Structure 1
Amino acid sequence: MSEAVATDGRHPVDTPMAPGPSLLFGLQHVLSMYAGVVAVPIIIGGALKLPPGDQFYLVSAALFMAGVATLVQTIGFWKFGARQPIVQGTSFVAVSSMLAIAGKNQGHEGLQIIYGALIISGLVGLVLAPVFTQLLRFFPEVVTGTVITMIGLSLIPVGVGWAAGGVGSESFGQPKNYALAFITLLIVVLIYRFLPGFFGRIAIILGLTLGTLVAIPMGMADFSTIGDAKTFQVPMPFHFGTPQFETSAIISLVICMLVIMVEATADILALGEITGKPADRETVANGLRADTGSTALAAVFNGFSLSAFAQNVGLVAITGIRSRYVVAYGGGILILLGLLPKLGAAIAAVPMPVLGGAGLVLFGTVAASGIRTLKEVDFSGNANIVIVATSLAFGMLPIVQRGAYEHFPSWFRTIFDSGITSAAICAILMNILFNIIGRKEQEEGPVFSYGPGIGTITDEDEARLYRSHGHNEKPLTKDNGINSGH
C-alpha cells in the first residue's frame, strides 16, 4: 500500500503496507541503528572485563529487547506505546554512569548492580510518565524545531566517527576509511538523484549493501565473527545473577532516566511534526511508559536502558515512509537477530565507514527537518531568534568542546554532556521567559532578523495540547488570558 491515506480515511502513520516493502523498509531501519544498539553492550562488557561469550550474550539480549520495545512502541499495548514509527534502541545517556559502576565493580557483580539500578530507574520513570505530559504545552514550534535541529547536529559527529573507522579502532582516521564512507555517501546521493520512487526509498539499505561490497576488495570487510557466534540463543531472566540495589547507582541512573525521558519527549514530538500527525499528551505519556517500562523489563532480560533512536527519526523524514507497521517489522527483525546471534553477527559485518557514509545523510536530514519546522516560527521580534540562537549554542558546547564540563559535579555532567538535553532544557526555559511570563502584546522592533510577526504558541497548538480525556478547561489563547500567568 502506498503512503497515501487509505480509503478508509486512516492516517499514513496508521496504514499498513504490503509485507514485501514493509520487510525491506523495516530492515533499512535496523541497519541504520544496529551499530548504536550493539555499541553499548560491547562498551559495558569490555569495561566489566567479561569474557567474549558473555559479551555476545549481552549483544543478543540488547537486540532482543530493542525489538520487543519497538513492537510495544509501534503497535501499542493498553497505555503503553506512542503508536508512532519509533525504533527503540539502547540509550547512550546512561553509559558514563554505568562505566562509573563498572570501575568499582568488575564482572557479574558489576552487572548485577547496574541491572538493579536500571530496574528501579525504569519503574520511577514509569510512575513519572504522566507528569511529563504536563510539559507538552511548553514545546511549541520554536522549541521542537530547535531540538530537532540539535538532534541532527549532535548526531553528525557520531557519523563522522563511524566514517573515520570507529572511535578506538587501530585504523581510525585513515584516508581509506573516509574514501569508503564517501563512496557510500555518493552511492546514496546518486540513487536519490537518478532512481526516484521505490529505489529512492531504499537508498540507505542499497548504499549499505553496495558499500559493503566495495569494502571487500579493499580488505575492509571482516566476516570472521559470524563463525564465533551461536546459532540460537534465548535471553533468560537474570542470566548474570540476582540484581543488587546500591543507593548511589540507583540515584545516578534515575537522573539518567529523567534525561532519557526529556530526549524521548523531544523525539516523539519531532516524529509528530515529521509524519503530520502531531503528538498530544496521551501520545507522549504512552510513549514514555513504553520507554521506561521497557528499560525495567530489559534489565530483567540482561539488556540496558532503552529509548527512541534519533537516527531513525531522520530515516522516516528522508524516506517519507510514515507507517508505524513498517517499523514494527523492524522490531520483529531485531527480535530475530537477538534469537539468532549468527544473523546479528552478519549485520555487524557492515564496516563502520560504510555506516558512517549513510549515517551522515541520515543525521543531516534530521537537522534539515528541524530547520523546516523552524520556518513556521515568526522571527520579527527578538524573542524567538534569541531562543533558537542561544539554545543551539548551548547544545553545541559539549559537542565542539569535549570535556567542557569535566570539573563540574557528576549529576551536572550526566545532564548537560548531552547536546540534545542541553538544547532542550535551554529552549524550554527561554520560551517560558520570552513567550509566556515575559510576553508583551506590542510587537518589538526586529534586532537580529526580520519576519512577519512576533512568535507565539498558536491557538491550534493550544487546542491540540489541551485535548485529552476528561479535560474541561478552555484552551489558553491570546484572547483569553495569556498574560494572566495561567
Structure 2
Amino acid sequence: MDETLPPLKMVTSGLQHVAAMYAGVVAPPMIVGPAVGLDAKDTAFLMGASLFTAGIATLLQTLGFWKVGARLPFVNGVSFAGVTPMVAIGKDRGADGLIVIFGAIIVASLLGLVVTPYFSKLVRFFPPVVTGTVITLIGVSLLPVAFDWAQGGSAAGADRGSMRDLGMAGLTLLIVLVLRKVLRGFLQQIAILLGLVAGTLIAVPLGMTNLDAIRGAGLVGFPTPFHFGAPHFEAAAIVSMCVVMLVCMTESTADMLALGKIVERPAGRRTILGGLRADTVGSAISPLFNGFMCSAFAQNIGLVAMTKVRSRFVVATGGGILVLLGLCPVLASVIALVPLPVLGGAGIVLFGSVAASGVQTLASAALEKGENALIVAVALGIGLIPIAAPDFYHAFPKDLMVIFDSGISTGCVVAIALNLAFNHLGAKESSPPVPETDSVLSTVQG
C-alpha cells in the first residue's frame, strides 16, 4: 500500500479510479442544482466544486495528516445518501436553499467529528440489516430522479415524456448495457461514461444539447468560497443532515473493513477513527467551496480488488486529478452538455446499482433469523412513503417536513430503532468491540 509506482502507471491507474467514480461525483450536483432552480451554468459550477472537494477529501484519506486519514487506497466523493434530504431542504427555496444545505452540512460534519471516537463503539448497532436497508432506500429514492430526467425534466413543458425523449433514454440505457457486456477491463469500468458520450453525440443532430453552460466557461477557474452566499443554519435541516452523516459514517466503516481485508491490512479501530475523521473534516471543508457531504465510494474498492493495485499513492494521484478537474470550468461544463434524457437512461443503471448494492448487503443480513425480515419490511415501507404518497405528511409542521420528506432519514431511524428493540434490548450476547490495534480482522468483523 505504501509503494510508489512509475509516473506513467501512477497517472493511468489514478485516472482509472477517477473514471470509476466520476459519474457518481457529478450526479448529486446534477440532481440538487436543478431541484433548487439553478441554471445550467451554476449547475456546472456546482459539479466542478464537487470534483474539487472530492479530490481534497480523497487526499485527506490516502495521505492523511496527524490522526486524520485511514491511509488506505480509499476514494472519497459526494455521498448519494444526502441527495434526497438536500432536495427536500432546498425545495421551493430557490438558490437560497443551497446556503441552508451548506450550513446543515457544516454543523453535521463538525458534530460527526466530535463523535468519531465513540462511533466505533456504536458500530454493532448498524449491522447489515440496517445498512442494507438504508443503502437500498438510497437507490430506490433516487430512481424517480432518473425517470424525471428520461422524460426531459420539468423544463420540458408540454413535450415532457415525448417519444423522442423516452426513446433517447432507452437507447442510452441499451448502449450502456451492450458496452458492459462486450467490453473488458478498464473500458468496462467506464461503460456509463462511454454511454453518456455516445448518447450525447447521437442527440446533437436532434437539437437536444444545451450549450448555455459551456459558453463563457474559462479554461482555469477556482470554486469561489461561499459562491452562493454565507451558510444559513436551520435546526430541522441540521437534524436531517446529522442522520445522513451517521449513514455516511456507517458506510465508510463497512467499506474500510472490506478494503482492509482486500489489501491484507486489517482495519482496526485506529484506522477506522482516522478514516472517519477524514470523512468528517472533508465534509466540513466541502461547503466552504460549494461542495456537499463526502463519503467512501464502494465501486473503487471493487476496482482495487480487480486490478490488484493497492498503492494508496495511486488513489492519491486520482485525488489530485479530481482537484485539477475541479479547477477547469470547461471540463465541468462539458458534463452539462449531456441532455437530460441521456442522463435518465444512464441514471437508471447508476441509481439502480446503488439499490442493488443495498440488496447485496441485505443478503448477508440473516433475514431468516429473529425479526430481521420484519425490520427490513417496516423500515422499507416507511422509507418509501415520500415516493409512493408524496402528500402523506401534509398535515405535519413545515419544519418537520425536511426530515419526513426524506425516506432515507425516516427509514434509517426506523431501522435503527427496530434493530435495537428486537436484537439488542434484553439480548444476552453483544458484539465485541473493535480492537484498538489493526491486527485482528475477525474481531473487527465481529
Task: Decide whether aligned partners of structure 1 residues 390 and 253 sit closer, same or farther in structure 2, where only a CA change above 3 A counts.
Answer: closer
Separation in 1, partners of 2:361, 2:104: 37
Counterpart among 33, 38, 41 of residue 25 in structure 2:
33
Separation in 2, partners of 1:114, 1:476: 34
Q: What does residue 123 of structure 2 align with?
A: 136
**1:303-452 correspondence runs (5 A):** 303-308=290-295, 313=298, 328=316, 331-439=319-427
Q: Secondary structure at the match of 1:217?
A: helix
Separation in 1, partners of 2:385, 2:98: 32
Pair 1:195 & 2:183 matched: yes
Q: Secondary structure at the match of 1:79?
A: coil
Confirm or deny: 8 A CA contact 1:26 1:328 kept in the other structure: no
1:325-368 per-position Cα deviation (integer Å, ceiling 9, x unaligned): 67655543442233221111112212222222222122222322
Pair 1:123 & 2:110 matched: yes
Separation in 2, partners of 1:270, 1:435: 19
Q: What does residue 247 of structure 2 align with?
A: 263
Confirm or deny: 8 A CA contact 1:265 1:284 kept in the other structure: no
Q: What does residue 15 of structure 2 align with?
A: 23
How far is the alpha carbon of 1:165 from its aligned partner?
2.3
Q: Quick one: which amino acid aligns to residue 387 of structure 2? A: I
Task: Decide whether aligned partners of structure 1 residues 430 and 149 sit closer, same or farther in structure 2, where only a CA change above 3 A counts.
Answer: same
Task: Decide whether aligned partners of structure 1 residues 87 and 119 sit closer, same or farther in structure 2, where only a CA change above 3 A counts.
Answer: closer
Separation in 2, partners of 1:134, 1:183: 48
Task: Decide whether aligned partners of structure 1 residues 115 and 274 sit closer, same or farther in structure 2, where only a CA change above 3 A counts.
Answer: closer
User: What TM-score does the superposition give when structure 1 sets the normalisation length?
Assistant: 0.73
Q: Quick one: which amino acid aligns to residue 466 of structure 1? A: V
Separation in 2, partners of 1:201, 1:63: 19
Q: Secondary structure at the match of 2:294?
A: strand
Q: Secondary structure at the match of 1:468?
A: coil
Q: Quick one: which amino acid aligns to residue 257 of structure 1? A: M
1:275-298 per-position Cα deviation (integer Å, ceiling 9, x unaligned): 566876555544443343234323
Q: What does residue 467 of structure 1 align with?
A: 435
How far is the alpha carbon of 1:28 from its aligned partner?
4.1
The structure with the larger Rg is 1
Higher relative contact order (CA 8 A, sep 6+): 2
Deviates more, 1:260-269 or 1:389-398: 260-269
**1:280-295 correspondence runs (5 A):** 282=270, 285-295=273-283
Separation in 2, partners of 1:373, 1:111: 32
Separation in 2, partners of 1:154, 1:114: 19
1:63-86 per-position Cα deviation (integer Å, ceiling 9, x unaligned): 422332243245444433454333
Separation in 1, partners of 2:222, 2:352: 37
Task: Decide whether aligned partners of structure 1 residues 284 and 211 sit closer, same or farther in structure 2, where only a CA change above 3 A counts.
Answer: farther
1:220-251 per-position Cα deviation (integer Å, ceiling 9, x unaligned): 2233431222232223445677x47x6xx343
Q: Secondary structure at the match of 2:60?
A: helix
Confirm or deny: 8 A CA contact 1:184 1:208 kept in the other structure: yes
Separation in 1, partners of 2:349, 2:41: 35
Confirm or deny: 8 A CA contact 1:125 1:257 kept in the other structure: no
**1:224-303 correspondence runs (5 A):** 224-237=212-225, 243=230, 249-269=233-253, 271-272=255-256, 282=270, 285-301=273-289, 303=290
**Structure 1 residue runs without a partner (length 5+):** 1-5, 11-15, 441-455, 479-486
1:142-168 per-position Cα deviation (integer Å, ceiling 9, x unaligned): 222222322322222222222222344
Separation in 1, partners of 2:216, 2:109: 33
Task: Decide whether aligned partners of structure 1 residues 422 and 53 sit closer, same or farther in structure 2, where only a CA change above 3 A counts.
Answer: closer
Q: What does residue 451 of structure 1 align with?
A: none
Separation in 1, partners of 2:57, 2:256: 19
Confirm or deny: 8 A CA contact 1:121 1:250 kept in the other structure: no
Percent identity (aligned): 39
User: What TM-score does the superposition give when structure 2 sets the normalisation length?
Assistant: 0.79
Q: What does residue 481 of structure 1 align with?
A: none
Separation in 2, partners of 1:285, 1:408: 38
**Structure 2 residue runs without a partner (length 5+):** none
Separation in 1, partners of 2:358, 2:278: 25
